[in-house]
Structure 1
Amino acid sequence: MTTTSLATAEIEALMHKHPKGFDLSLERIRRLLTALGEPQHALPPVIHVAGTNGKGSVTAFSQAILEADGRAAHVHTSPHLVNWHERYRLGRPGQRGALVDDAMLADAVRRAAAANAGQPITVFEILTAVTFLLFSEQPADVAIVEVGLGGRFDATNVIDRPAASVITSISLDHQSYLGDRVELIAAEKGGIIKRGVPVIVGQQGEEVALEVLTSMADRVGAPLITYGQDFFAFAEHGRLVYQDDTGLLDLPMPRLSGRHQLTNAATAIAALRHAGFSPSDAAIEAGMASVEWPGRMQQIATGPLWRAAVPGAEIWLDGGHNPGAGAAIAETLADMEDRVQRPLFLIVGMINTKDPVGFFASFAGMARHVFTVPVNSSDAGIDPDDLADAAIEAGLDAEPCDSVEEAIQLVSTNWQSEPTPRFLICGSLYLVGEVLAQSGLAPA
C-alpha cells in the first residue's frame, strides 16, 4: 500500500473538505450512523479500550490471546503509523487478522462520505463510521475498539453495550481537550463506562484517577475490576506471574519490552476473562510470545538509519510522547542498562500539543545527549530549536538537527570508543511512522 492507494486518495479528499483536529461530540457521528443503518448495533461483542498510555498495548495483547485461542478478532486502533489501513484489522478464523483490503476500505470510506452528504463532521468521525461498517459486515467473534481521544465524547463511544470497558493508565495529555488535571482527564476517559458492563482498570500512577473511576462505576452499577486489588502481575525468575481470584498463571515474559508491559498484559487477561471469553491458559501463554505492537520499544536493525550508525550500535523506536510514557520508557532503558551499559542518545521530535519538558524530565541523568528533529509528516511539529530548549530546561544536553539520519551520523562520526551507543528515537507517533517507512518496516 502506498500513498497513491484508492483508500488513501479517498481519505485525503475528505481531509481537504473537513476541518482538521477534534470537535468532541456524539451528535454528528450518531447522525451519520443513522444514515448508514446503525452498523454500530450489528457488531460482534466489543471490548472498548480507553486510557492515556497502554491502551494500544492492551489491545495488542487482547488480540494476540484471542487469536491464539482460535477466535477471529477485528481490531480498531488510531492513529496509524504509516498507512491508514493499519486502523482496521479484520479478524480471520484460526489466524492473525489482516489489514483491510485497499478496495474494501476505499468503498467503505466512499459510502460513509456519501451518507454524510456534505454535512459538518470531522474526518475521524467518518473514519469511525467506517470502522463500524467494516466490522459489522465482516464476521468475527469479537471486536476490540480503541478510543481515539478521551472517551466520553469520542466517536467510538456510540457503542452502548460492550462486553467490557477497559481503562488503562491515565496521565496528563491532550489537556486542551480533556482538562489540565488528572481527575478531569479520568472523568473523560471514564465516560466509556456503561451501566452493568464490567470495567477493567489498569494500574494508575495517581490515586485520584482510580477514585474518579470508582465513583463513576458505582453510579451506574458497573462491576469494577482494578489492577492491584482484583488482579496483579509481577516478574519472577524470568517469568510473568499473573494472579486473580481464580489463582496464578505462570507465563513467559511478554514479547513487548518494558516493565509496564507486564501490567498491560495483565489488564488484557483480566479484560478477556471478565468479558466472558475465558481464553485457555495455553492461549494466554501463546499470546505473550506472539503479541505485536509496532513502534513501541521496537528495535531497528535494517534500512538506511541502521546503516548510518556505528557498527554494533542499537537503535530503538518508541512513540511515547507524554510524561507518563517518558517515565515508562526511561524505566525500560534503565533495565537495559542493568544488562548492557551503553551511552544513550535521544533523537526526539514532538508536536505542539505535548508537554516536552515533562517528557524529557524522566531522562535527566540518563541520556548522554539529545538531538531534536523536525516532524515532517505533521504541520504541528515543534521547531527543533524550541524543543532543544525544552530538553535543556529539563536538565539535558541538547542540540537541534535537521533529521534523524543527521543525528545518527553525528554520533557515529564522533564516537570512537566502546561500548557502542544506544539510540532512542521517540516523542511522536508521526516521527515513528516516518522512521518505519524509511526503514521499510511499515506495519502489515
Structure 2
Amino acid sequence: MEKSAEKREARISARYKNVLKSLDNTWHILDDERVPIVREVLDWLDHPDQKLKIIHIAGTNGKSSTGAMMGAILQANGYSYGHFSSPFMLSAREQIRINDAMISKNDFVIYYDRLVACFKANGVSSNHLTHFEYFTVISLLYFVDQQVDFVLFEAGLGGLRDATNAIDTPLLTVFTKISIDHQNLIGRNLTEIAENKAAIIKKGTWVIDYAGQDITARNVLKAKTAAVGARWFDYQQDQIIIANTTPSGLDLIVNGTPGYFLNMSGAFQVHNFSIVLKIKAALTAMGYTFIQEKTREGLANVSLLGRMNYHKTTNILVDAAHNVDGINGLVSAISAWHLKIKPTLILGVLKDKDYHEMLDTIIPVVQRVITVTPNNKTRALSAEELAAEILTNYPNVDVEIANDASAAVSLAMRVRESSQALIVVTGSFYTLSAIQTDNRI
C-alpha cells in the first residue's frame, strides 16, 4: 500500500513538473491584450472572481508583508483566507495559499487540466495563458472551491496590464507605498507609475491608501477613485509607537494600548501594519467582527518567507530588499539595532534595478560584502560585476565573490568577527531563493 502511494506521489510530481515546464514564462508587460484575454477566460469559467470577497493589493513595496499580517489577523479571528502573491522563493505553489498552506501539486494539476479543457472547448490552445496568468486564474478557481471567507490578491507588476486586473469589482482595493521602480516598464516618473497602479480601481470598490503615501501618488489615486465611482475610505490614522526593536521583531503600543508584538523586524513594517489596521477598520465598517486579543495573537504569529526573517541560532537575517525603497527600510532597521559590530553582507542584485543607489545606501553600514549571482539568467548582475562595482566605488570595504549561495553562507560564517556579528542576506528574490535552500538558514 505504501509503495503504491509513493508511486502515485511520484507520478503527480512528474506531471506537475512537466506542466510547469510547458508554461510560457515570457513577460508581456507592455501588451494591452493580456488583461482582456484573462477577463475572457474568467467569463468562460463563469466568473469565479465574482464569487469571492477579494481584497486587491497593489503598490511598490510592502504588498506581501501587508498580506501576511492581514492573513494572520483574519485567521486568528476565525476567518479563512486565500492568498495569491508573487514572486515565490522555493516553490511556485507558494503563490497560491489558503491559511498559509500551499496548493498541492495534485490540486494544481487538476485545475490546470480543467483550464486546458475549457480552452479546447473554446477553440484555443493550452498556451492561451502565460505562467503568471495560469496561476492567477487557478488561484481564483481554487479559492472558490475551498469556500474561503476572504481573498488577499496581490498585483504582480504595476496594475494596468497585470493579470490580477482582470477581476471584477473587489471588496477593497488597497495601496501600499508607491515609489519609483520598474521605470522602463510601468512609468517614467511617480505620476505615471501611480496611474498604472491606479488602473485597478473599479466602480463600487472601497479604496484604502497608505497613510504616508506621496502626495503626487495620492492625488492620482483619489482622482481615479472619483472618476470611476469608487469610495475613498477616510480613516483617522492609528497611533503606533515602537516600544522596542530587535532582529526578532517589534514591541508596539497601538492607540495607547501596549502589548502588541509584531513577529517581523524593521521599523518600516509599522507602515504596513498601519495599512492592515485600516483594512480591518473598513471590514469592521462592513459588518465583520474582530476581537482585539485575537488580532494581537495573529500579529505575534505572522511570518513571511524572505521578509526580515531572523534566524537566532546562526545570527543570520534574510530580507528581500530588492529595490532602493526596500534597502532604505533594511538599513533603517540595522541602524536602529545599534549593533556593536557591523554586519557581513551577502548580496545579489538584478541589473535592471537601481543597484548603484542601493549600494550607496547599504555599504556604509556593513563591514564587508560577499557577492553572489542571482538565479535569473537574463536579468542577473553577475557576482563578478557587482564586486567590481563595489571595489571601484567603495575601496574601504572588503569584498569577496562566492560561486553559489551555500558557499556565500559558509564564507560569511567563516570571515565574520564572531557569532555575535550579524550576517545579512539581501537583494533580489532570485538570490534569496537559492540561499533559502541552505539548511543553516
Q: Structure 2 length as normaliser, TM-score?
A: 0.86
- Give structure 1 stretches of 5+ with no counterpart: 91-95, 307-313
Q: CA deviation at 1:236?
A: 3.9
Q: 1:11 to 1:113 in 2, by over 3 A?
A: farther
In structure 2, what is the Cα distance between the partners aligned to 1:330 and 1:125? 35
Q: Which residue of 2 aligns with 1:437?
A: 437
Q: Give the aligned residue type for 2:43.
A: T
Does residue 298 of structure 1 match 2:301? Answer: no
Q: 1:76 aligns with which of 84, 87, 112?
A: 84
Q: 1:12 to 1:23 in 2, by over 3 A?
A: farther
Does residue 357 of structure 1 match 2:356? Answer: yes
Q: Which residue of 2 aligns with 1:329?
A: 330
- Give structure 2 stretches of 5+ with no counterpart: 1-8, 245-249
In structure 2, what is the Cα distance between the partners aligned to 1:36 and 1:369? 54
Q: 1:147 aligns with which of 139, 146, 155?
A: 155
Does residue 164 of structure 1 match 2:172? Answer: yes
Does residue 33 of structure 1 match 2:32? Answer: no
Q: Give the aligned residue type for 1:281.
A: Q
In structure 2, what is the Cα distance between the partners aligned to 1:301 and 1:378? 32
CA contact (8 A) 2:342 2:421 kept: yes
Q: CA deviation at 1:400?
A: 3.2
Q: 2:240 aligns with which of 221, 226, 233?
A: 233
In structure 1, what is the Cα distance between the partners aligned to 2:334 and 2:211? 20
The number of residue pairs the alignment matches comes to: 415
Q: CA deviation at 1:128?
A: 0.8
Q: 1:218 to 1:370 in 2, by over 3 A?
A: same
Farther-moved stretch of structure 1 (319-328 vs 108-117): 108-117
CA contact (8 A) 1:356 1:391 kept: no
Q: 1:201 aligns with which of 201, 209, 212?
A: 209
1:406-425 alignment, distance < 5 Å: 406-415=407-416, 417=417, 420-425=420-425
Q: Which residue of 2 aligns with 1:13?
A: 22
Q: CA deviation at 1:279?
A: 1.6
1:15-164 alignment, distance < 5 Å: 15=24, 19-20=26-27, 22-24=29-31, 25-43=34-52, 45-90=53-98, 96-116=99-119, 117-118=124-125, 120-164=128-172
Q: What is the RMSD computed on CA atoms of the aligned residues?
A: 2.7
CA contact (8 A) 2:318 2:425 kept: yes
Q: 1:216 to 1:198 in 2, by over 3 A?
A: same
Q: Which residue of 2 aligns with 1:367?
A: 366
Q: Which residue of 2 aligns with 1:192?
A: 200
Q: CA deviation at 1:412?
A: 4.4
Q: 1:412 to 1:436 in 2, by over 3 A?
A: closer
What is the percentage of aligned positions where both structures have the same residue?
26
Q: Give the aligned residue type for 1:290.
A: N
Q: CA deviation at 1:395?
A: 4.1
Q: Give the aligned residue type for 1:105.
A: F
Q: CA deviation at 1:413?
A: 4.2
CA contact (8 A) 2:406 2:435 kept: no
Q: Structure 1 length as normaliser, TM-score?
A: 0.85
Q: Give the aligned residue type for 2:322.
A: H
Does residue 281 of structure 1 match 2:288? Answer: no
CA contact (8 A) 1:193 1:217 kept: yes
Q: Give the aligned residue type for 2:26.
A: P
Q: Which residue of 2 aligns with 1:317?
A: 318
Q: Which residue of 1 aligns with 2:247?
A: none
Q: Give the aligned residue type for 1:241.
A: I
